[in-house]
Amino acid sequence: MVVGATSWGCTLATCVDRAGNDAVVLCRTDAEAAQLSAAREHRRLLPGIPLPDGLTFTADPRGTPPGVIIWATPSQRLRQNLRDVLPNLTPGDTVHASAAKGLEKGSHLRMSEVLEQELSLAGRDGRVGAISGPNIAREVARGLPATTVVASQNAHDRERLQQALNSESFRVYTNEDLIGVELGGALKNVIAIAVGTAVGLDIGDNARAALMTRGLSEIARLGVALGAEPATFAGLAGLGDLLATASSPRSRNRTLGEKIGGGMTLSDAMADNPHVVEGVETTRVVLEVAEALGVDMPIARVVSQVLFENLEPREAIRVLMQRAPTVEG
């Protein structure tokens, strides 16, 4: 079962179907389920891409407990969705995996930690994992070749998640570094906003490459401080996801940055996008976490100042370029 008829939720359900498994999408309402079932297309979020006939759309989570539940709701809504769905979900031998890429406001928790908390409060087995990688939803939904990573601290659960999604067009790797996989997916959105802003300013390929490279260094510094393995950030959930998100014109975080670099306000750029842009709220949380740990994240800091403190994008670049010279690391 995939919770959330988002673009990524419907895409992951399509992957489950392609892997030869029963795929159910849990929708918000009966009307949404009926519309998607009849149209076999998500006309607002994935226009022009047919959804497989094998997908089932429903607003009722009751019934035989699924072996895997993928939570594909926006990160800041995950906790409420868990509280809405879990009381109606039949208990069973289920692995719960987050497909959201963010950190929760206030608590600073990763999504798997939110899952663990709410499962415990509901009296459920807290078997959790995460899905992350260089995955532009529209490309994956079309069946273009792509890879991703499933992470869990339990080897059996990693294998179950892999089997649920792996197909000829969607190659799924496993990783036991749940912390690193989740942080790579969340933090790269902040850097993608920075890269998009550079695109909007038209300041060149060198600047974009520098932002991606130094941005990855920031991601790894914070990740290691929080207990992640350094090698994870050189893999699909780190470098791979950052490259896809910061390079693709289909990336919602890069696109938002590009609009801001081109002169739009944050509110106008957000209103001009039908998708949730996870990097905006993640930027706030990341800086709170980094400051508490004493981790320096200069790119994330100027992104925050551009988004929330009216720092002009071109001035933000000047601030970064005028930092004191230092060693690479």
**Tokens linked to 163:** 């089997």
| Close Cβ partners of 203 (under 8 Å, ≥ 6 residues apart) | 317
Please return the burial class of 8, using the count of CB atoms within 10 Å of its CB with bins 0-12, 13-18 and 19+. buried
Q: How far is CA 139 from CA 8, 46, 196, 244, in A?
A: 11, 10, 20, 11
Answer yes or no: 101 catalytic.
Answer: no
Select which of 101, 105, 188, 259 is catalytic.
188
3-class secondary structure, 262: coil
Please return the burial class of 115, using the count of CB atoms within 10 Å of its CB with bins 0-12, 13-18 and 19+. buried
β-partners of residue 57 are 25
Complete DSSP assignment for 278-291:
HHHHHHHHHHHHHH
What are the b/e assignments for 216-236, b being 16+ CB within 10 Å? bbbbbbbbbebebbeebbebb
Complete DSSP assignment for 152-199:
-SSHHHHHHHHHHH--SSEEEEEES-HHHHHHHHHHHHHHHHHHHHHH
**Tokens linked to 249:** 């014109």
| CB contact at 8 A, 299 and 320 | yes
Q: At what angle do helices 178-201 and 278-293 cross, to 10 degrees?
A: 120
Pick the closest to residue 212 from 175, 229, 230, 187 (CA basis): 187
**Tokens linked to 284:** 């706030």
Neighbours of 291 (CB within 10 A): 12
Pick the closest to residue 222 from 174, 289, 157 (CA basis): 289
Q: Where in the sequence numbering do the catalytic residues fall?
A: 188
